[in-house]
Amino acid sequence: MSKNKKYPVNKSEEAWKIDLSPDEYKILREKGTEFPFTGKYNDHFEEGIYICKGCKTPLYESKTKFDSHCGWPSYDQCIEETLELIPDHSSGMLRTEIVCANCGGHQGHVFKDGPTKTGLRYCVNSASIDFIKKAE
């Protein structure tokens, strides 16, 4: 999240700590990362929508998910205008952080190495999202 930016969903850090588990808080609010191949949605391929764990904003459609073999859920696109892209120099390299445009919650990073026609790989932490299964 941008440090000084006000997002539509704007809670105190104390409120976030109440609403999120410690792992979710670490990832969404402190830009943490889960260990690869441990996340709930890494090998998840049901039909539906992936939403922000912090504010329930729909972020990714299941049809855009693919197995990148990187250890985190990967998508080749997001739902339009739902993510903010932020240059990230924190690991000694230039990456692009992705945060929810509604609450500023850290999702992960987007890379230009995707195998699909978009050429993108949105690499997302399972703890930063939830899933709503498509109604049958």
**Residues near 102 by beta carbon (within 8 Å), at least 6 away in sequence:** 7, 8, 9, 52, 55, 57, 82
Catalytic residue among 55, 78, 103, 123: 123
Cα torsion 113, 45, 117, 36 to 10°: value is 0
Rounded CA separation 47/64 (Å)? 10
Q: Which helix (H) or strand (E) holds 61?
A: strand 58-61
Distances from the Cα of 5 to the Cαs of 53, 61, 124, in angstroms? 19, 27, 22
Q: Is 52 a catalytic residue?
A: no
Residues annotated catalytic, as ranges: 123
